[in-house]
Amino acid sequence: MLIALPLLLIPVVLYNIVVLTNGLSGAGVVAADAALREPMFSLPMASGASWNVGSGDLILFLSLILLFFELLKSTSSQKVAIVNHALSMILFVVCLVEFLLVRGFATSTFFLIVTMVMLDVLAGFIVTIISARKDLDFGGA
Domain boundaries, the chain: 2-134
- The model's pTM is 0.83
Give the C-alpha distances (Å, rounded to integers) separating 88 from 20, 75, 76, 99. Answer: 22, 14, 15, 16
Indicate the residue type of 55.
S
- 88-118 CB burial, b ≥16 within 10 A, e <16: bbebbeebeebbeebebbbbebbebbbebbb
Answer yes or no: is pLDDT of 94 > 80. Answer: yes
Question: pLDDT tens digits for 96-123?
Answer: 999 999 878 888 899 999 999 999 999 8
